[in-house]
Amino acid sequence: MRRVFNFSAGPAALPQEVLEKAQAEILDWHDAGMSVMEMSHRGKEFMSIAAQAEADLREVMAIPDNYKVLFLQGGASSQFAMVPLNLLRGKTSADYYRTGSWSKKAIAEAKRYC
């Protein structure tokens, strides 16, 4: 199979060995009798996956215990709302540099909160 290079902002290209491991586990995650995609997000199997993912991320990025790790959906665009929602803390203005299309989107979203 011919693999292509992906230089977009996301999602990123994955190494073939990662894709092959995911392929092998797609129907039956560690003998759970189901795929990760079929598991309840509250079930013990998925809770174990989430806990291990957090532990691995903390180790790789040296995240201290007094920081929370959040796994959120939404990509870069949802960050445009999260930044002012979390950092304004009652203030009525924020400074942004408009340097292109992404900062334009961030400014438009921030205006909803200040």
Burial tier of 88 (Cβ tally within 10 Å: 0-12, 13-18, 19+)? middle
For residues 54 and 86, state if they share a domain. no
State whether 80 and 106 are in the same domain: yes
Residue 93 lies in a domain: yes
pLDDT greater than 80 at residue 91: yes
Name the pLDDT band for 56 (thresholds 50, 70, 90).
Answer: very high
Sign of the alpha-carbon torsion through 11, 41, 87, 63:
negative
Q: Identify whether 42 is part of a domain.
A: yes
Could you tell me the pLDDT band of residue 103, with boundaries at 50, 70 and 90? very high
Domain that holds residue 30: 16-61
Other residues' Cβ atoms within 10 Å of the Cβ of residue 110: 20
pLDDT-derived band at 98, boundaries 50, 70, 90: very high
Residue 58 exposed, middle or buried by CB count within 10 Å (0-12, 13-18, 19+): middle
Does residue 89 belong to any structural domain of this protein?
yes
Q: What is the pLDDT of residues 4-33, one digit of tens each?
A: 888 877 778 889 999 999 998 889 999 999
Residues 52 and 20 in one domain: yes
The domain tally of the chain equals: 2
